[in-house]
Structure 1
Amino acid sequence: MDSLGITLFRNYVEDERFSMEVYADGLVKALRTHCAGRCHLHEYIPRLPRGSKAGLWGMRLARYGRYPWQARGHSGQINHIVDPGYGHLLYILDPKRTVVTVHDLIPLVRWMGGIPGCPRGRKPWFNLFSFRALRRAVRLITDSENTRHDLMKILKIPSERISTIYPGIDKNFRPYGPEEKSLAGAVLGLPGSQAKRVLVVGSQFYKNHGTAVLACARLRARYAKPLQLLKLGPPTPEFKAAVQNHGLEDITRYLVGVPGENLAALYNSVDILLFPSLYEGFGWPPLEAMACGTPVVASNAASLPEVIGDAGFMCSPHDHDGLAQAMYALLTDNDLRLAAIERGLIRASLFQWEKVARQTLAVYELVADHDHHG
């Protein structure tokens, strides 16, 4: 087969959908490194007009109005939309030559009452417009079997049109030695301390911050040594209220403005990643933490068992006592901790971008062959 021309339709940078950027960056780099002879890649990155504002309605106008108009002139031999939130581009691009990666359908799942412990919320009209267009795509790629099942159940898309390809992880995520850890702490403003550090990440409603803070409060009541709760990013109202309600202000610190390139340093500077999410389409943070040799305590919701496997400690996202008990065990049993670190490193090593590139190329070739004989 001749080299395929692939056009990758990326997000507006101003959309600030960090996980989508991580996926697109990793895929592009891997395809160009490992599949260069079999495909040539063109990235289309939309730009806002100079002087325009990237507020809520400004971004909606750009996403649903300007981008489809721009995309029309950039169609490739095979098109790949990397974010299902831009699925409405399928109304413009030839669906018989277009692949979409679907990371999750969380707005729809929430609206349908499919996230236990989370209020349903309003009907997501804009998301519905984009997600319904996914039915038009000749092929869909999902980050997990959980998202694949959501596509089949909610949008009634046949299983034979969906391929599950787990994302890879950047080699930047690795365990640091003692000197590197010391330097990382200095860069992050986290000097050496006797306190054990628990990291909580994310700002979305489904990150379950109330339970995370309550679990830390239970841990503090039982753990006799110094403890520090780190929150990556500014506090959400839920997180801040929970910290105040449980009297954890004195041990809580907010890390704001940490760039993506410093995430590995952050994971290497903490003792546990606490990730009791109510729902995930994949779950980057647990994988990144495990790759850095940081044990993970997480929920067993949605896709997380697929990502974590037997390498982390998982329980119900509503079981704050179970989460606290798992953290306590990791902080007090060194053999258990070392075993968890080893399992985590092995698990994380399975998620390779080279594998992602080759599996994705196979999807492109399948679509091209179908179009040729179609």
Structure 2
Amino acid sequence: MPLFADSIYHYLQHRGEAVELWQPTAVFSRFPSRKLKKWLGYIDQYLIFPFSFKIRSFFLSGSKTIYIFTDQAQGIWISFLSTKKHVVHCHDFVALKSALGRPGFPKLSATGVFYQKIIKRGFSRANNFICVSNNTKKELLEFLRRQANVSVIENDLNRPYYRISKAEATPILNAIGVFEEDFFLHVGGNQWYKNREGVLRAYLQYCTIDPVSRPLVMIGAAPTAKMKELLSNSRFSERVRFVVRPPFEVLRAAYSCARCLFFPSITEGFGWPIIEALACGCPVLTTDEAPMNEVGGDVVRLVPHAADMSPEAWTDRAAELLMDLSEMEDHDWQEISKQGLSYIRDKYRESSLAKYLSFYQGILHQ
């Protein structure tokens, strides 16, 4: 979460707060050993760093200092400072739910399970939390099994997302080999819960019912072997374009020209692409389950959760919804685009960073 931590750090500096950014530094991991680099990095993170900030915290005023943990995954460090004023930002518990063997979640290795249990033990000692969604708050309280001081503050847009004109966006997209407008768009990595294979299956099924099918642009990670296999067995494979980790300007241009963002994740902590797309006037088709339907409010279109139907039935239903968006009259499309823009303006009248500061100050004044 370096970008998230940096945004908080710079905002607090801008507001005139005395703020320091503490993070592990390379000590043992500087040694030139490829085989041991990972394990030497663990020594830096989990032995050297906690020892150093424990000493540094001893010399700071307890009543005037608050310790901000920017991710609950820093739980292994939280236990060292849980008796001091603190707040923990909670994003998602996907890895922890996998470690606990929740149905539908992939299994972790023995070391992965051990690591997640240490994280849980650490953040469970904290008392003050900021969660990115009501769904994350609900899950946090289930893990804590007690009451705590929890505020829900949704993520802010962390880049200047807004609709740019097609005249400005077209050359940006042409430069990466995207030559058509009004395409379907997916944004995300290859994590299992992003459901990228489901995106492809639904899109390829859509192509069979739309004789002039719109292309699909998938921005994020390179395709997996399974995704390549799906495409190799389809006559519509040339309609799919992968754009691997492009710069921000390409992503904003894609949102500004897309017919819709198709974002049928299995689960999320928040679902940043939803608000990014809406801020650029791009309609969204996402999963009818929290937090996706929570983040998108009543301006997004919803597809059933993949676990609620057979794979075939879900693919057919998602393809039908894509077809509906493809055939939508221009004035109707413009209307839902405007609704999304208005929703984002209303949602972020006060920045999340300002809300964070208010929460921090409340803890400091206790």
Using the size of structure 2 for normalisation, the TM-score is 0.84
Match of 2:150 in 1: 162
- Report whether the alignment pairs 1:207 with 2:185: no
Q: Distance in 2 between matches of 1:314 and 1:292?
A: 19
Q: Cα gap change, 1:43/1:121 in structure 2, threshold over 3 Å: closer, same or farther?
A: closer
C-alpha deviation, 1:102, in angstroms: 0.6
1:122-149, CA deviations, whole angstroms, 9 ceiling, x for partnerless residues? Answer: 5621122112211222301110110111
Q: Which of 2, 6, 18 pairs up with 1:40?
A: 18
Match of 2:294 in 1: 306
Q: Distance in 2 between matches of 1:261 and 1:194?
A: 16
Identity of aligned residues (%): 24
Count residues with an aligned counterpart.
Answer: 345
**Where do residues 213-362 of structure 1 align in structure 2 (5 Å cutoff)?**
213-232=200-219, 233-260=221-248, 262-318=250-306, 319-333=314-328, 334-352=330-348, 354-362=350-358
Q: Which of 105, 127, 131 pairs up with 2:120?
A: 131
Q: Distance in 2 between matches of 1:65 and 1:300?
A: 43
Amino acid paired to 1:287: I
Give the secondary-structure state (helix, strand or coil) at the position aligned to 1:349: helix
Q: Give the gaps of 5 or more residues in structure 2.
A: 307-313
Match of 1:11 in 2: none
C-alpha deviation, 1:246, in angstroms: 4.4
Q: Cα gap change, 1:237/1:82 in structure 2, threshold over 3 Å: closer, same or farther?
A: farther
Q: Identify the range of structure 1 (53-62 vs 243-252) with the bigger mean alpha-carbon deviation.
A: 53-62
Match of 1:142 in 2: 131
C-alpha deviation, 1:315, in angstroms: 1.9
Q: Distance in 2 between matches of 1:55 and 1:262?
A: 34
Q: Distance in 2 between matches of 1:315 and 1:108?
A: 26
Q: Cα gap change, 1:229/1:69 in structure 2, threshold over 3 Å: closer, same or farther?
A: farther
Amino acid paired to 1:40: A
Report the aligned-residue RMSD: 2.7
CA contact (8 A) 1:104 1:147 kept: yes
Q: Distance in 1 between matches of 2:233 and 2:9?
A: 45
Q: Distance in 2 between matches of 1:112 and 1:240?
A: 32
CA contact (8 A) 1:185 1:269 kept: no
Give the secondary-structure state (helix, strand or coil) at the position aligned to 2:84: helix
C-alpha deviation, 1:115, in angstroms: 5.6
Q: Cα gap change, 1:330/1:149 in structure 2, threshold over 3 Å: closer, same or farther?
A: same
Look at both structures and tell me which one has the larger radius of gyration over its CA atoms.
2
Amino acid paired to 1:307: V
Match of 1:27 in 2: 8
1:241-264, CA deviations, whole angstroms, 9 ceiling, x for partnerless residues? Answer: 433344543222221231345432
Using the size of structure 1 for normalisation, the TM-score is 0.82
Q: Distance in 1 between matches of 2:193 and 2:42?
A: 22
CA contact (8 A) 1:277 1:301 kept: no
Amino acid paired to 1:293: G
Give the secondary-structure state (helix, strand or coil) at the position aligned to 2:129: strand
Q: Cα gap change, 1:300/1:26 in structure 2, threshold over 3 Å: closer, same or farther?
A: farther
Give the secondary-structure state (helix, strand or coil) at the position aligned to 1:150: helix
Q: Distance in 2 between matches of 1:354 and 1:31?
A: 15
Amino acid paired to 1:63: Q
Q: Cα gap change, 1:57/1:250 in structure 2, threshold over 3 Å: closer, same or farther?
A: farther
Amino acid paired to 2:318: L
CA contact (8 A) 1:138 1:367 kept: no
C-alpha deviation, 1:206, in angstroms: 0.8
Q: Give the gaps of 5 or more residues in structure 1.
A: 1-19
C-alpha deviation, 1:281, in angstroms: 0.9
Q: Cα gap change, 1:103/1:193 in structure 2, threshold over 3 Å: closer, same or farther?
A: same
Q: Distance in 2 between matches of 1:249 and 1:69?
A: 54
Q: Distance in 2 between matches of 1:256 and 1:28?
A: 29
1:40-59, CA deviations, whole angstroms, 9 ceiling, x for partnerless residues? Answer: 32222433344566975455
Amino acid paired to 1:295: P
1:82-133, CA deviations, whole angstroms, 9 ceiling, x for partnerless residues? Answer: 01111111122244312110101111223445464x4444562112211221
